[in-house]
Structure 1
């Protein structure tokens, strides 16, 4: 089977835990999670790696349930870190990049703008730098929206964004610029605003159809409106709104069947979570 014919076949949602965060007049139940794509070639693509044990939660957040970490959950699926071929880095916040340094056999794909900002010493990404900035990790840098493979698209959604877990000499990064088709059916979409160079992921599955992983461009469903407000952890409200409008357009244009919001505890209760999957 050629690379061009490789497409996504299964999508696993890995729920790593939950925390409660005080919001505007309410307390929000927030999910911590990451994602696994299995391709028709038998390759495994991980999207984010979750919060490490040595990283603090955001100010005001209280852990309500700490589940199995990404390595343990992969183990439940019969996989080891070395079985991951590609690690898509949506951004380097601690709850998304905390175990990157475990995946030294994978190629890591990140928006160039985001990687260079993090490597510049920005304090937001400093606390878990060793987990993402490692010499054994291979990064591919992208710029903007990128189709990784047929049915899997990364969407750049900057605006929101710390880093020893990601800044490790064993990590191999591929830097991309903007929207990028990684494989037919897997596209990375630049969605800055939460952080510069944030990206979302569009996955097209054979039975479920198009699934949009909004990640932190739209953390909860009630924010999926053109005039939405930014949260304290978001970097740029104007960019965030532009990215939200972009994702709303993607939903209509690509006939998206499911939008998964990055931290929406209420929504995640209704979703299929590993070991169950979408196909």
Structure 2
């Protein structure tokens, strides 16, 4: 199995990278993790309060995939860690893939919660097929989804078991920075909302 980090732009201040990931299994299955800010931000970024988004043409998810010889049609699974703007801006390009998301998070986003409204045309496109899961879930051998609510309800991270490197945890926004690795001392931000209930 191979794991690629896809650099999908930067947020300022702080040079905060926006990552995506590609997992390729030994059987040739391609698994994409998140799709970054909307591709339209290359020419016309819409900056959230307090941030400046920087995306070059080569930072789009399609350009990053092309650099390793892949097209959107080659992706079998799209793992949705969550549907914030910087993670779900290009989901609509992956209609051949099955999108894997925590049921709790999908229902919250579909309920009309304003936080997930900006990219709704992308992540709620009628051509997309979602698999709703609940809790920890082994998608394929060596690719384990972990329910990690806290940043948002139903946030998920991934544990990837690589034969040569060992286990790699893709925490997404459960741990956005190494300073947040200790749950006892982790600073809570306005974007952390694990107390929302969907009825």
Q: Same fold, TM exceeding 0.5?
A: yes
Cα distance in 2 between the residues matched to 1:110 and 1:17 = 23
Give the alignment partner of residue 82 of structure 2, picking from 79, 82, 91: 91
Asked whether the equivalents of residues 46 and 53 of structure 2 are also in contact (C-alpha less than 8 Å), the reply is: no
Question: TM-score, normalised on structure 1?
Answer: 0.65
Where does the alignment leave 5 or more consecutive residues of structure 1 unmatched?
1-8, 22-27, 132-165, 238-279
Question: TM-score, normalised on structure 2?
Answer: 0.91
Q: CA RMSD in A?
A: 1.4
Secondary structure of 1:72's counterpart equals helix
Q: CA deviation at 1:56?
A: 2.5
Moved over 3 A (4+): 63-67
Render the CA deviation track for 1:20-48: whole Å, top value 9, x for unaligned.
13xxxxxx221111000000110100000
Render the CA deviation track for 1:91-119: whole Å, top value 9, x for unaligned.
00010000100000000000000001111
Give the alignment partner of residue 223 of structure 1, picking from 155, 180, 189: 180
Render the CA deviation track for 1:251-270: whole Å, top value 9, x for unaligned.
xxxxxxxxxxxxxxxxxxxx
- Give the aligned partner of residue 44 of structure 1: 30
Q: Which has the higher contact order (CA 8 A, sep 6+)?
A: 1
Q: How do 1:1-279 and structure 2 match up within 5 A?
A: 9-21=1-13, 28-52=14-38, 53-54=40-41, 56-64=46-54, 66=56, 67-131=58-122, 166-227=123-184, 228-236=186-194
- Report the number of matched residues: 189
Cα distance in 2 between the residues matched to 1:59 and 1:106 = 32
Where does the alignment leave 5 or more consecutive residues of structure 2 unmatched?
none
